[in-house]
Protein backbone atom coordinates (compact mmCIF):
# COMPACT_ATOMS: atom_id res chain seq x y z
CA UNK A 1 0.00 0.00 0.00
CA UNK A 2 2.79 2.47 0.82
CA UNK A 3 4.32 1.95 -2.61
CA UNK A 4 0.91 2.82 -4.12
CA UNK A 5 0.89 6.04 -2.10
CA UNK A 6 4.37 6.80 -3.48
CA UNK A 7 3.07 6.27 -7.02
CA UNK A 8 0.05 8.48 -6.29
CA UNK A 9 2.21 11.37 -5.05
CA UNK A 10 4.67 10.88 -7.92
CA UNK A 11 1.85 11.33 -10.44
CA UNK A 12 0.64 14.47 -8.69
CA UNK A 13 4.15 15.99 -8.81
CA UNK A 14 4.76 14.88 -12.40
CA UNK A 15 1.71 16.84 -13.57
CA UNK A 16 3.37 19.86 -11.93
CA UNK A 17 6.52 19.24 -14.05
CA UNK A 18 8.44 17.97 -10.99
CA UNK A 19 10.53 14.78 -11.09
CA UNK A 20 10.52 12.80 -7.85
CA UNK A 21 12.13 9.81 -6.14
CA UNK A 22 11.32 7.94 -2.93
CA UNK A 23 14.76 6.60 -2.00
CA UNK A 24 16.61 7.10 1.28
CA UNK A 25 18.81 10.22 0.79
CA UNK A 26 21.78 8.70 2.60
CA UNK A 27 25.48 9.32 2.06
CA UNK A 28 26.38 8.87 -1.62
CA UNK A 29 22.86 9.61 -2.86
CA UNK A 30 22.83 11.37 -6.23
CA UNK A 31 20.41 12.19 -9.05
CA UNK A 32 20.67 12.44 -12.83
CA UNK A 33 18.41 15.49 -13.07
CA UNK A 34 16.84 18.02 -10.72
CA UNK A 35 14.68 15.84 -8.45
CA UNK A 36 12.46 16.17 -5.39
CA UNK A 37 13.20 13.38 -2.93
CA UNK A 38 10.38 12.19 -0.65
CA UNK A 39 11.70 9.99 2.13
CA UNK A 40 9.01 8.07 4.07
CA UNK A 41 10.41 8.31 7.60
CA UNK A 42 7.39 7.59 9.81
CA UNK A 43 4.07 5.72 9.74
CA UNK A 44 1.61 5.98 12.64
CA UNK A 45 -2.11 5.73 13.38
CA UNK A 46 -4.12 8.95 13.36
CA UNK A 47 -6.23 8.46 16.49
CA UNK A 48 -8.18 11.67 16.01
CA UNK A 49 -9.68 10.21 12.81
CA UNK A 50 -10.18 6.72 14.26
CA UNK A 51 -13.67 5.30 13.63
CA UNK A 52 -14.75 3.21 16.66
CA UNK A 53 -17.83 1.74 14.95
CA UNK A 54 -17.48 -1.73 13.33
CA UNK A 55 -18.95 -2.24 9.87
CA UNK A 56 -20.92 -5.12 8.41
CA UNK A 57 -20.69 -6.78 5.00
CA UNK A 58 -22.96 -9.44 3.51
CA UNK A 59 -21.35 -12.54 2.05
CA UNK A 60 -23.74 -15.09 0.51
CA UNK A 61 -26.34 -15.74 3.25
CA UNK A 62 -24.23 -14.44 6.11
CA UNK A 63 -23.42 -11.06 7.65
CA UNK A 64 -19.81 -10.47 8.70
CA UNK A 65 -18.96 -7.79 11.26
CA UNK A 66 -15.44 -6.37 10.95
CA UNK A 67 -13.23 -3.90 12.74
CA UNK A 68 -13.21 -0.42 11.18
CA UNK A 69 -10.16 0.46 9.05
CA UNK A 70 -7.12 2.29 10.38
CA UNK A 71 -6.47 5.92 9.47
CA UNK A 72 -2.70 6.07 9.01
CA UNK A 73 -0.44 9.14 8.81
CA UNK A 74 2.44 8.66 6.35
CA UNK A 75 5.16 11.28 6.96
CA UNK A 76 7.64 12.24 4.23
CA UNK A 77 10.77 14.38 4.42
CA UNK A 78 10.89 16.40 1.17
CA UNK A 79 14.25 17.67 -0.09
CA UNK A 80 15.49 18.97 -3.47
CA UNK A 81 18.55 17.69 -5.34
CA UNK A 82 20.32 18.80 -8.52
CA UNK A 83 23.36 17.93 -10.65
CA UNK A 84 24.70 21.50 -10.59
CA UNK A 85 27.64 22.74 -8.50
CA UNK A 86 28.40 25.82 -6.47
CA UNK A 87 25.89 28.66 -6.27
CA UNK A 88 23.94 27.31 -9.25
CA UNK A 89 23.27 24.11 -7.29
CA UNK A 90 21.78 26.09 -4.39
CA UNK A 91 19.68 28.19 -6.75
CA UNK A 92 18.24 25.18 -8.61
CA UNK A 93 17.52 23.21 -5.44
CA UNK A 94 15.83 26.13 -3.68
CA UNK A 95 13.64 26.79 -6.72
CA UNK A 96 12.70 23.11 -6.98
CA UNK A 97 11.87 22.90 -3.28
CA UNK A 98 9.60 25.93 -3.61
CA UNK A 99 7.85 24.40 -6.63
CA UNK A 100 7.27 21.13 -4.77
CA UNK A 101 5.94 23.01 -1.74
CA UNK A 102 3.53 25.03 -3.88
CA UNK A 103 2.34 21.98 -5.84
CA UNK A 104 1.66 19.82 -2.78
CA UNK A 105 0.04 22.71 -0.88
CA UNK A 106 -2.46 23.11 -3.73
CA UNK A 107 -4.24 19.89 -2.69
CA UNK A 108 -5.76 19.74 0.83
CA UNK A 109 -6.80 16.24 -0.23
CA UNK A 110 -5.33 14.14 -3.03
CA UNK A 111 -7.79 14.14 -5.98
CA UNK A 112 -9.44 10.84 -6.88
CA UNK A 113 -7.83 10.77 -10.33
CA UNK A 114 -4.37 10.43 -8.76
CA UNK A 115 -5.58 7.96 -6.11
CA UNK A 116 -7.06 5.72 -8.80
CA UNK A 117 -4.06 6.01 -11.13
CA UNK A 118 -1.69 5.19 -8.26
CA UNK A 119 -3.57 2.00 -7.36
CA UNK A 120 -4.32 3.26 -3.85
CA UNK A 121 -7.50 1.22 -3.39
CA UNK A 122 -9.83 1.05 -0.39
CA UNK A 123 -9.93 4.78 0.39
CA UNK A 124 -13.28 5.84 1.84
CA UNK A 125 -12.11 9.46 1.84
CA UNK A 126 -9.79 11.32 -0.51
CA UNK A 127 -6.50 11.22 1.48
CA UNK A 128 -5.98 14.51 3.36
CA UNK A 129 -2.55 16.15 3.31
CA UNK A 130 -0.61 18.43 5.64
CA UNK A 131 2.34 20.32 4.16
CA UNK A 132 5.21 22.12 5.90
CA UNK A 133 3.75 21.74 9.40
CA UNK A 134 5.97 22.12 12.47
CA UNK A 135 7.40 18.85 13.83
CA UNK A 136 8.72 19.98 17.19
CA UNK A 137 9.44 16.51 18.52
CA UNK A 138 12.17 15.65 16.00
CA UNK A 139 15.89 16.37 16.42
CA UNK A 140 16.95 17.08 12.85
CA UNK A 141 20.63 17.27 13.76
CA UNK A 142 20.60 13.64 14.80
CA UNK A 143 18.53 12.81 11.71
CA UNK A 144 21.06 14.25 9.26
CA UNK A 145 23.90 12.59 11.18
CA UNK A 146 22.17 9.20 10.92
CA UNK A 147 21.85 9.65 7.14
CA UNK A 148 25.49 10.69 6.88
CA UNK A 149 24.80 13.88 4.89
CA UNK A 150 25.06 17.62 5.68
CA UNK A 151 21.83 19.38 6.75
CA UNK A 152 19.77 20.76 3.86
CA UNK A 153 16.47 22.65 3.39
CA UNK A 154 13.37 20.47 3.68
CA UNK A 155 9.69 20.39 4.56
CA UNK A 156 7.37 17.66 5.84
CA UNK A 157 4.47 16.11 3.94
CA UNK A 158 1.91 14.05 5.88
CA UNK A 159 -0.72 12.06 3.97
CA UNK A 160 -3.47 10.17 5.84
CA UNK A 161 -4.63 6.95 4.17
CA UNK A 162 -7.13 4.22 5.05
CA UNK A 163 -5.94 0.66 5.76
CA UNK A 164 -8.47 -2.19 5.92
CA UNK A 165 -7.59 -4.51 8.83
CA UNK A 166 -10.01 -7.19 7.59
CA UNK A 167 -10.41 -8.39 11.20
CA UNK A 168 -13.66 -10.34 11.59
CA UNK A 169 -15.48 -9.78 14.89
CA UNK A 170 -18.54 -11.96 14.37
CA UNK A 171 -20.71 -13.68 11.76
CA UNK A 172 -24.46 -14.16 11.77
CA UNK A 173 -27.16 -15.51 9.47
CA UNK A 174 -28.56 -13.01 6.98
CA UNK A 175 -32.06 -11.59 7.41
CA UNK A 176 -33.96 -9.01 5.37
CA UNK A 177 -35.75 -6.95 8.05
CA UNK A 178 -35.75 -7.27 11.82
CA UNK A 179 -37.31 -5.24 14.63
CA UNK A 180 -36.35 -5.95 18.24
CA UNK A 181 -38.04 -4.52 21.34
CA UNK A 182 -36.22 -3.81 24.61
CA UNK A 183 -38.25 -3.12 27.73
CA UNK A 184 -37.53 -2.88 31.48
CA UNK A 185 -39.58 -5.42 33.41
CA UNK A 186 -43.15 -5.69 32.18
CA UNK A 187 -43.56 -2.04 31.15
CA UNK A 188 -44.55 -2.65 27.54
CA UNK A 189 -45.30 1.03 26.93
CA UNK A 190 -41.66 1.95 27.52
CA UNK A 191 -40.23 -0.60 25.09
CA UNK A 192 -37.47 0.69 22.78
CA UNK A 193 -37.43 -0.83 19.30
CA UNK A 194 -34.30 -1.30 17.19
CA UNK A 195 -34.48 -2.00 13.47
CA UNK A 196 -32.11 -3.82 11.08
CA UNK A 197 -32.27 -2.47 7.53
CA UNK A 198 -30.62 -3.52 4.31
CA UNK A 199 -30.26 -1.82 0.92
CA UNK A 200 -28.07 -1.48 -2.17
CA UNK A 201 -25.75 1.11 -3.66
CA UNK A 202 -26.37 1.43 -7.41
CA UNK A 203 -24.83 3.35 -10.32
CA UNK A 204 -27.35 4.51 -12.92
CA UNK A 205 -24.53 5.99 -15.07
CA UNK A 206 -26.83 8.75 -16.36
CA UNK A 207 -29.37 6.18 -17.49
CA UNK A 208 -32.68 4.77 -16.20
CA UNK A 209 -32.63 3.68 -12.56
CA UNK A 210 -34.10 0.36 -13.67
CA UNK A 211 -30.80 -0.37 -15.47
CA UNK A 212 -28.57 0.71 -12.56
CA UNK A 213 -25.64 -1.57 -11.69
CA UNK A 214 -24.50 -2.55 -8.16
CA UNK A 215 -21.49 -0.69 -6.74
CA UNK A 216 -18.98 -2.95 -5.00
CA UNK A 217 -16.88 -1.78 -2.00
CA UNK A 218 -18.82 1.46 -1.56
CA UNK A 219 -18.74 2.97 1.92
CA UNK A 220 -22.19 3.75 3.34
CA UNK A 221 -22.59 5.89 6.45
CA UNK A 222 -25.55 6.84 8.64
CA UNK A 223 -24.99 10.56 9.07
CA UNK A 224 -26.69 10.81 12.47
CA UNK A 225 -24.81 7.91 14.14
CA UNK A 226 -21.53 7.73 12.19
CA UNK A 227 -21.97 3.97 11.65
CA UNK A 228 -20.28 2.84 8.41
CA UNK A 229 -20.71 -0.29 6.31
CA UNK A 230 -19.15 -1.59 3.06
CA UNK A 231 -21.15 -3.01 0.16
CA UNK A 232 -20.58 -6.58 -1.02
CA UNK A 233 -20.27 -7.90 -4.58
CA UNK A 234 -24.00 -7.29 -5.09
CA UNK A 235 -23.80 -3.70 -3.88
CA UNK A 236 -25.66 -4.60 -0.66
CA UNK A 237 -25.22 -3.05 2.81
CA UNK A 238 -26.88 -3.55 6.19
CA UNK A 239 -27.25 -1.54 9.41
CA UNK A 240 -28.13 -3.56 12.47
CA UNK A 241 -29.29 -1.16 15.20
CA UNK A 242 -31.28 1.88 14.08
CA UNK A 243 -34.04 3.44 16.17
CA UNK A 244 -37.64 2.70 15.30
CA UNK A 245 -39.82 5.48 13.90
CA UNK A 246 -36.94 7.85 13.14
CA UNK A 247 -35.54 9.52 10.02
CA UNK A 248 -31.92 9.11 8.89
CA UNK A 249 -29.63 10.41 6.16
CA UNK A 250 -27.59 7.78 4.28
CA UNK A 251 -24.35 8.77 2.53
CA UNK A 252 -22.45 6.61 0.03
CA UNK A 253 -18.85 7.23 -1.09
CA UNK A 254 -16.70 5.42 -3.61
CA UNK A 255 -13.48 6.30 -5.43
CA UNK A 256 -14.26 7.29 -9.01
CA UNK A 257 -17.89 8.20 -8.36
CA UNK A 258 -17.55 10.59 -5.43
CA UNK A 259 -20.36 10.98 -2.89
CA UNK A 260 -24.13 10.75 -3.04
CA UNK A 261 -26.70 10.92 -0.25
CA UNK A 262 -30.27 9.90 0.40
CA UNK A 263 -31.54 12.80 2.46
CA UNK A 264 -34.44 11.30 4.42
CA UNK A 265 -34.93 7.62 5.16
CA UNK A 266 -37.84 6.56 7.37
CA UNK A 267 -37.10 3.56 9.61
CA UNK A 268 -38.80 1.27 9.03
CA UNK A 269 -39.54 2.28 5.45
CA UNK A 270 -43.14 1.73 4.31
CA UNK A 271 -41.78 0.34 1.03
CA UNK A 272 -38.98 -1.67 2.67
CA UNK A 273 -36.49 -0.03 0.25
CA UNK A 274 -33.30 1.80 1.32
CA UNK A 275 -31.29 1.90 -1.93
CA UNK A 276 -28.82 4.73 -2.71
CA UNK A 277 -28.29 5.57 -6.38
CA UNK A 278 -25.42 7.38 -8.08
CA UNK A 279 -27.15 9.26 -10.95
DSSP string, the chain: -HHHHHHHHHHHHHTTT--EE-S---TT---SS-EEEEEEEEEEE-GGG---S-EEEEETTEEEEEPPPEEEEEEEEEEEE-S--HHHHHHHHHHHHHHHHHHHHT-SB--HHHHHHTT----SSPPBEEES---TT--HHHHHHHHTS-----EEEEEEEEE----EEEEEE--S-EEEEE-STT-GGG-EEEEEEEEEEEE-TTS-GGG-EE-TT-EEEETTT--EEE--TTSEEEEEEEETTEEEEEEEEETTTEEEEEEEEEES-TT----EEE-
pLDDT in tens, the chain (279 residues): 899 999 999 999 999 999 999 999 989 899 999 999 999 999 999 888 776 666 665 555 555 666 777 889 999 999 999 999 999 999 999 999 999 999 999 999 999 899 989 998 778 778 999 998 876 556 777 788 888 888 899 999 999 998 877 655 445 444 444 444 444 444 444 445 677 788 889 998 877 776 788 898 899 988 888 888 888 888 888 887 787 778 888 999 988 888 998 877 777 777 677 888 998
- Given this model, what pLDDT does residue 175 score? 43
- Given this model, what pLDDT does residue 270 score? 72
In this prediction the pTM is: 0.63
Domain ranges of the chain: 2-50+70-163, 175-278
- Given this model, what pLDDT does residue 228 score? 87
Fold: same for 2-50+70-163 and 175-278:
no
**CATH domain 175-278 topology:** Immunoglobulin-like (2.60.40)
CATH level 2 (architecture), domain 2-50+70-163: 2-Layer Sandwich (3.30)
Amino acid sequence: MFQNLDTTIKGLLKDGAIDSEFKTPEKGYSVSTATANLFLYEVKENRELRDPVPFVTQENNEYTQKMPPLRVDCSYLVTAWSTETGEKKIEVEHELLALALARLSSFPTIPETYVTAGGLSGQIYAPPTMVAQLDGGRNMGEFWTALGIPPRPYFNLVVTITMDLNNIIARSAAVTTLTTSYQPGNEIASAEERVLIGGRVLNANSGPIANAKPVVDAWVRVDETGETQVTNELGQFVFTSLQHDKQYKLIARVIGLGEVSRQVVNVPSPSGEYDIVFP
